[in-house]
Amino acid sequence: MKRELKRQQTWQLLLDTTQELIREKGCAKTTFSDIMERSGLSKGAIFHYVKSKDELLAMILQQKLEETNSRFFEGVIHEDGEVRFAGPMSAIANSLPVLEESRDITNQIFMYLLGRSDESAVEEIRRFYEQAAQFSRKWIETGQEHGVIPQSVNADKTADLFMLISFGLRVRGFIASDKKAFQIGDFTKLMVDILQPEKKSGR
């Protein structure tokens, strides 16, 4: 048990240190030497967990996805024990503005990996997309299982649509001006309209 705890602590130290350095220097200028010096971990210790810098950055993306997933499921069950749409939707809506923040760690890593043409970086971005889509699909299916999202909603297509928009917003955060026709609020409304079509038609 102590060994596993030590392993988890070392892994978290590695992730936290890497994020600190990215905030200070950016992804491109952050090196394994920087991480070793800041964390006190040896090169061998780091390579025990990851094989490359791209893999390490991808693991940070993975952690961020899992944190969002946890917040979603924390909001699924209401205080009275009932499953409600508002709680988990609120958790998702609160996370959306981050998509356009160019200084956000997830977006910095996303753009860094997206800008690299080597096979490992492309594979990590593909894995990130697929995992994000999988979580999104699971959220929709969970809502359907509990009767708060109608079965008529196609979970696969809807999850893919949400991923296309969210990934586009990440890129736009780095290249677009302040004038945007499609805002985060519009994305939130679109999600609600798609996931709750019966309420929309009933208004």
Query: In terms of pLDDT, which residue wins out, 198 or 167?
Result: 167
Q: Does residue 154 come out as left (phi exceeding 0), alpha (psi in the -120 to 50 range) or beta?
A: beta
Would you state the pLDDT for residue 93? 86
* Percentage of residues of the chain with pLDDT beyond 70: 92
* Residues 122, 111: Cα–Cα separation, whole Å: 11
Please check the confidence at residue 202 and state whether its pLDDT lies above 90. no
Encode pLDDT of 142-174 as tens digits. Answer: 889 888 899 999 999 999 999 999 999 999 999
Give 51-84 pLDDT, tens digit per residue. Answer: 889 999 999 999 999 988 887 777 666 656 666 7
Mean pLDDT of the chain: 88
Residue environment code for 141-174, b if the CB has 16+ CB neighbours within 10 A, otherwise e: ebbbeeebbeeebebeebbebbbebbbebbeebe
Per-residue burial over 29-41, b = 16 or more CB atoms within 10 Å of its CB, e = otherwise: ebebebbeebbeb
In the beta sheet, which residues pair with residue 83?
A: 77
Mean pLDDT across the stretch 178-199? 88
From 46-55, 121-130, 191-200, the region with the lowest mean pLDDT: 191-200
**Residue 201 reports pLDDT greater than 70:** no
Question: Which residue shows structure tokens 């299982």?
Answer: 145
CB 97 within 8 A of CB 186: no
For the cut 50, the answer to whether the pLDDT of residue 203 exceeds it is no
pLDDT at 1: 64
Average pLDDT in the 30-42 region? 94
